[in-house]
Amino acid sequence: MNPDALSEALLAVIVPLAEARREGSSAGLTAADLPLERPKNRDHGDWASNAALKLGKAVGGNPREFAQQIADGLAAVDGVASVEVAGPGFINIRLDAAAAGALAQQIVEAGAAFGTNETQRGATINLEFVSANPTGPMHIGHTRWAALGDAMARVLLASGATLVREFYVNDAGAQMDRFGRSVLASIKGEPTPEDGYPGSYIDDLGRRVLAAHPDLLDLTADDQLVTARDAAYQLQLGDLQASLEKFNVHFDVFFSERDLHAKGPNGEPSLVDEAVDRLRAQGHVFDQDDAVWVRTTAFGDDKDRVIRRSNGEYTYFAADAAYYLNKGDRGFAHKIYLLGADHHGYVHRLKALAGAAGDDPEKDIEVLIGQLVSVNGARLSKRAGNIIELDDLRDWLGTDALRYSLARYPADSPLTLDPEILTKRTNDNPVFYVQYAHARTHNVARNAAGVGVTREAFAPELLDHETESALLGALQEFPRIVAFAAELREPHRVARYLEELASLYHRWYDNCRVTPLGDEPVTDLHRTRLWLNDATGQVLRNGLDLLGVSAPERM
């Protein structure tokens, strides 16, 4: 019996009892209103409910007496071994071994689908993260947003959302011209411009651009700059995309800022041009001092924003507005922005923009700010000279250790990684600890096959050891952990769950044998424990996949 089934059983018991106490007191009540919790002390049972306390005011009377009535009714449900009332009205529920153990078979049969849920069904989400400028390699900050954003996407997709991972390519504006001048200077053997980009990666781009355009220096000065800039941009963007793929991060859309400013083939207005008119139609645009403004203070911004200057030039806010509206035009009712620590000022600005566009700033947009991350002993990039590169970190620490460690903490917590721990093959290293538990499940299965233990029989009532009860209880939690991580946008909850599950598995491994000792015959207990072993491996594998981390079968 899983938690959802138990909640439904609890609802079926509570409704008639509540109505008998006070008519209408159960109106609109659903199983979702009756969440179950796993007691910290396993002596208190498998599950606990505060339903009697929660409904006490609605039904009237003494909550403890109501709890006892619920306990008496729930005790008669198939699969429930016992129910006790504690304190002012807490209900502690213990399942019989067969009902609890049946989960092992369900997990194995569900395979990779176990843990998926429908809690985000109907949500259409555009998740924007990383969005590094295409003027240089990605740094350690981008690395954190890549790991967090991709893990966030995975738990949302596993919870039924329709979602697109999007990378906003900031390929318009003055920084692109500075980038082009830097590359061109390198090609000509000239010093880097005063406002240019330093680093040997610029020299590398220059060599690659010249190889692709050997006649570049024969062009006019203006054409030299355009050619160097655009060719280097495409090469650098390709390098960024390759770095992300090697980091096991895939984007569905790379959206170019240039597309926001591009006119139609016959001179039709650009998306930025249209954005001003669309916001004006919403009634939140005004003209002042020959400039065009958006009244964002009406939605909590600290000041109104200029969208077009008096000289006719658009501001960065105009591109933000056009991009936000474009996401809605593409069918995304909900937009999530994962931004770096230096973007705190964008929170109110983007929420105000959503309000000015006619959306609900509290429902239709989320702006999540990630905090800084550092690595003890990390060296600045030899190529870029002033940053710690994603590729260098990946080569040093490994994709799995880096991704797991970055996804293991909330986005809003500053983080310092210890490479000495992350490169250890010991239990002090969290990713090793979890991956080793998964590898151990495969080792147990290989050893079992070697002595003839198969899954041809399944007797869940035999799984009555205390470590089996604890392990099964944790396995039951996985779908709810995934749903909760998706709801709160907190994939670190999956990582912490996996560590707890690994600990419970190791404890079970030390106490319960899947393979018989010596000349002992193979029994249904061994066969059933193999189901539990394989179920644990499946959940560990599913959880690691949600974090973009591999699940090795041998270590």
Q: Domain segments of the chain: what residues?
A: 3-95, 124-169+251-373, 174-246, 424-546
Measured distance CA(430)–CA(423) in Å, rounded: 11
Tell me the three state secondary structure of residue 138.
coil
What local confidence, expressed as pLDDT, does residue 216 receive?
A: 97
CA angle centred on 44, ends 38 and 49, rounded to 5°: 50
What local confidence, expressed as pLDDT, does residue 52 receive?
A: 93
Looking at residue 216, the DSSP 8-state letter turns out to be G
Tell me which residue of 120, 154, 124, 172 sits closest to 327, measured CA to CA.
124
Q: For residue range 188-234, what is the model confidence (pLDDT) as tens digits?
A: 999 999 999 999 999 999 999 999 999 999 999 999 999 999 999 99
Residue with tokens 């009634």: 283
As a CATH number, domain 124-169+251-373 is 3.40.50.620
Measured distance CA(443)–CA(93) in Å, rounded: 34
What local confidence, expressed as pLDDT, does residue 383 receive?
A: 72
Measured distance CA(15)–CA(31) in Å, rounded: 11
Tell me which residue of 152, 204, 165 sits closest to 183, measured CA to CA.
204
The distance in angstroms from the start CA to the end CA of the chain is: 34
CA dihedral over 67, 68, 71, 73, signed as positive or negative? negative
124-169+251-373 shares the fold of 3-95: no
Residue with tokens 């000279």: 385
Q: Which residues contact 364 (CB under 8 A, 6 or more apart)?
A: 333, 334, 335, 354
The answer to whether 455 touches 445, Cβ cutoff 8 Å, is: no
Instruction: Give domain 424-546's CATH architecture.
Output: Orthogonal Bundle (1.10)
What local confidence, expressed as pLDDT, does residue 35 receive?
A: 81
Q: For residue 91, what are the β-bridge partners?
A: 49, 85
Tell me which residue of 555, 506, 548 sits closest to 147, measured CA to CA.
548
Measured distance CA(498)–CA(494) in Å, rounded: 6
What local confidence, expressed as pLDDT, does residue 370 receive?
A: 86
Tens of pLDDT, residue by residue, the chain (555 residues) = 778 889 999 999 999 999 999 888 888 899 988 888 888 777 788 899 999 999 988 988 899 999 999 999 999 999 999 999 999 999 999 998 898 999 999 999 999 999 999 999 999 999 999 999 999 999 998 999 999 999 999 999 999 999 999 999 999 989 999 999 999 999 999 999 999 999 999 999 999 999 999 999 999 999 999 999 999 999 999 999 999 999 999 999 999 999 999 999 999 999 999 999 999 999 999 999 999 999 999 998 989 999 999 999 999 999 999 999 999 999 999 999 999 888 888 899 999 999 999 999 999 999 999 888 889 888 766 677 678 899 999 999 999 999 999 999 998 888 899 999 999 999 999 999 999 999 999 999 999 999 999 999 999 999 999 999 999 999 999 999 999 999 999 999 999 999 999 999 999 999 999 999 988 999 999 999 999 999 999 999 999 999 999 999 999
Q: Which residues contact 511 (CB under 8 A, 6 or more apart)?
A: 465, 467
Q: In degrees rounded to 5, what are phi and psi of residue 425?
A: -105, 60
Tell me which residue of 66, 77, 58 sits closest to 7, measured CA to CA.
77
Residues in the chain: 555
What local confidence, expressed as pLDDT, does residue 2 receive?
A: 79
What local confidence, expressed as pLDDT, does residue 331 receive?
A: 97
Strand order in the sheet with 253-256: 253-256, 162-169, 124-128, 334-339, 365-369
316-329 and 346-356 are packed helices; what angle lies between their axes, rounded to 10 degrees? 50
Please state which CATH class domain 3-95 belongs to.
Answer: alpha beta
What local confidence, expressed as pLDDT, does residue 394 receive?
A: 94
Measured distance CA(157)–CA(485) in Å, rounded: 11
Task: Supply the pTM of this predicted model.
Answer: 0.91
Tell me which residue of 263, 229, 257 sits closest to 171, measured CA to CA.
257
What local confidence, expressed as pLDDT, does residue 382 receive?
A: 66
Tell me the three state secondary structure of residue 117.
coil
The answer to whether 158 touches 181, Cβ cutoff 8 Å, is: no
The answer to whether 131 touches 253, Cβ cutoff 8 Å, is: no
The answer to whether 172 touches 261, Cβ cutoff 8 Å, is: yes
Tell me which residue of 99, 155, 104, 95 sits closest to 125, measured CA to CA.
155
